[in-house]
Amino acid sequence: MIPTAGEPVVVDTPSGAVRGRVHADGDVVEFLGLRYARAARFATPVPEPAWAGVRDARTPAPQCPQLASRMDEVAGPSDAEALGQDEDCLTATVRAPRDAAPGDGLPVLVWIHGGAYVIGGASLSWYDTVRLVREGRVVTVSVGYRLGVLGWLRREGVSPGNLGLLDLAAALSWVRDHVSAFGGDPGSVTLVGESAGAHAIACLMGVPHLRPLFAGVILQSPQLGLGLASERAAARVAGFVDDALREVAGEGADPRTVDIATLLRAQKRAMVRHAGPGGMNSTPAFAPIAGVEPLIGVPVGDPWVAAAHAGHPMIIGTTADEANTFIRIAPPLRRLGEGPFGPLVDLASGYLTRRVFSAPADRLATRAAAAGTTVSTYRFTWRAPDSGLGACHAIDLPFLFGGREAWQQAPMLAGASWDDDVEPLGRAMRARWLAFAAGGAHRAREQRVR
C-alpha cells in the first residue's frame, strides 16, 4: 500500500507514545515539536517528564522569540512568520525512513541551526531533512534552543549565561535516550551545524562529559575567529540590557517578568549599543561565554584547544566568500559596495572571510589532525552567475538540504539552474556527508565489539 502524506504514525518512546505523520515524501515519517526539556525564563533546562497516552507530534514547533531577520535578502523567503514564536521552544523534529523500526541501529544526524545565536529555528522549511533521510537511510533530529537574551544573558541573580548550550546538551541527552525508538543508533550520532550551529558544536566538543553523546561532527562555516565572550564582556552586555529595559519599560523593570516584546526591544537596543558607532564591533552581543557552565576551564584566549583534542572525526570547511552575506544585509556596507568604494569593500570581505571563518577553521583542522583525529576539510567555491554574492555565507545550505520549493527563490542562487547546478552538486555533497555519518555507525559498532 502506498502511504498517504499526513497519515498518522505512532511510536512508543521511553517517555511515552508520540503520534507523527507520513511526510509529503511518502518514504519518510516525521515527528514534529517533540519537547526534549522544559525551562522557565532564564532557568536551566530540566528533562521532559514521561506522560500517559499518546502525545501529538504533527504540528511544527514555533521558534524561540527573536527579532526580525534580514537573511531573506540572501536566502530568500522563509516560513518563519507562519511558525510563530514561543518561549516554550525546547523541541526537536525527528525524521526517519518509513520502514525504520526500533533497534535498527541507523546512523543519526543531529542538525543545529545557525543564526548568530539570535535568529533561526529548527522547524524552518529551509531545514527539511527529508532528502538526507531518503538518500542516506538515516534518522535526523533537528533541535531548537534559546536565542538572544533568553539563551545567552549572564546577569547575577537573573540568568547564569550559556543557557543555549545547556539546552543543546539536554537535547543530546534526549537523543541518547530516545532515538533508538525511531530506528536510530544512539552510539552513532553525528552533529551537523552551520554558522552559530557549528560554533556551538565546537563549544560542546570542549566539554569532556558531553563528548560521549556524539561520535562525529560536521562543522559548516563556524565563525571560530570570533572566539568566546569573556565574563567581563558578558557583564557589559548585561549592563546594556539593564539600561535598555529602563528606557523602554521604566525604572525597576525586571527581565524575568517583563513581556517578551519588551525584552526583545531591550535586546535590540543592547545589540546596537554593543556594535558601537557604525556597527564596527563584529563580535556578537549574545554568545557562549568562556568559563561559564558548561564551558568551565575553557579559556577566552585560545578556546578551541579542547575541541581540537576531543577526538571526534570531523568534516570542517567554509565558503569562499563568507563575508559577502553580512555586507549584503548591512545597508551601509551594501551601499558602499555598490558605489566607488566597491573594490575596498571586496578587500574587506576577503579579509573578514579569512579572519573569522577560513583561517581559524583551518587551524582547528590542523590541530585536530596533529592530535590524531581523522579530519576532512573543504572549501565551497560554487557561485551563482547573477547573484553578486559569490560563494557567500549560507550558500551551502540549499545543497545540503536540497529542498527546491524552500530555496529556489534565494537571491544567492540567482541565475542558477536548480536541475543543472544545485541538484547534482547537492547530491554529491549529501553523499559525502552521509558516508561520513555511516562511517560513524561502523566505528560505534567496532567499539561495542571490542
- Catalytic site residues? 195, 322, 393
Cell of 21: 505523520
Look-up of cell digits 579559556: 299
185: left (phi over 0), alpha (psi -120 to 50) or beta: beta
Show the cell assigned to 254: 525586571
> What is the length of the chain?
450
| Backbone torsions φ then ψ of 365, nearest 5 degrees | -60, -45
Please list, in sequence order, all residues whose beta carbon lies within 8 angstroms of the beta carbon of residue 441, skipping any fewer than 6 positions away. Answer: 105, 106, 107, 185, 188
Phi, psi dihedrals of residue 208, rounded to the nearest 5°: -55, -40
Give the chain's largest Cα–Cα span: 66
Nearest to 380 by CA among 332, 428, 308, 416: 428
Residue at grid coordinates 566597491: 342
Tell which residue, 62, 53, 1, has the closest CA to residue 35.
Answer: 62
Task: Please state, as a whole number, how many other Cβ atoms lie within 10 Å of the Cβ of residue 230.
Answer: 16
242 to 148, 235, 236, 274: CA distances (angstroms): 15, 10, 10, 13
Gap between the Cα atoms of 351 and 373, Å rounded: 29
